[in-house]
A and B are shown apart, each in its own frame.
Chain A
Amino acid sequence: SQKIEQNSEALNIQEGKTATLTCNYTNYSPAYLQWYRQDPGRGPVFLLLIRENEKEKRKERLKVTFDTTLKQSLFHVTASQPADSATYLCALDSGGYNKLIFGAGTRLAVHP
């Protein structure tokens, strides 16, 4: 069956450290993978997109990698700040036509 898996346990880290979140998928061949941020009571907000032919993408303190052989994406938040605390969702195009399927998300808590 097709699945997208993110670590359901919250990730607690100290301010200034690098947070690494994982997204694994099975039985999909996505043309791209996306990461979103969601704050409590709000809709998700787009952060980054990485295509199947890209290994790494960066945006300010965010870095995403995409390994189509491992069927895995890693999302890094460097020099983390308490304001980075949120739930982070990965999503992929499940079969063309931008039919986006989401993982359950991982909650990141950055402590001062």
Chain B
Amino acid sequence: NAGVTQTPKFQVLKTGQSMTLQCAQDMNHEYMSWYRQDPGMGLRLIHYSVGAGITDQGEVPNGYNVSRSTTEDFPLRLLSAAPSQTSVYFCASIYSGTTNTEAFFGQGTRLTVV
């Protein structure tokens, strides 16, 4: 059982380049989210999804796009990379049941924009 798989683990981009961070989960969870983590800032929500075909903005959505065509996949697209987007990105898949709600995180993608 792989859980949440993020690729790549590391990436260096030049300013203005675009790229897609991949996230896949095999737990059949409806809810998925993307966060960025910067020193001293904690995890900040970029976009989230409550199911296939449904996405919404989080706290810091500018410069990022998402789509959710299947339950399993939730890719994050950087449209035109900027140095301010240098960060560690985490994808989360959220189990929501009657007695518990729990987020499962991927191992993260460390992105550097030069």
Contact = CB atoms under 8 A, between A and B. Distances in A.
A, B co-complexed? yes
B62 to A, nearest CB: 17
> Which secondary structure dominates chain B's binding surface?
strand
B35 interface: yes
Sorting the interface of chain A by its residue count into under 10, 10 to 19, 20 to 34 or 35 or more gives: 20 to 34
Contacts of B104: 46
Contacts of B107: 42-43
A93 B101 contact: yes
Contacts of B94: 98, 100
Interface in B59-114: 59, 90, 92, 94, 96, 100-108
B90 A43 contact: yes
A44 B35 CA distance: 11
B53 interface: no
Contacts of B59: 101
B48 A91 contact: no
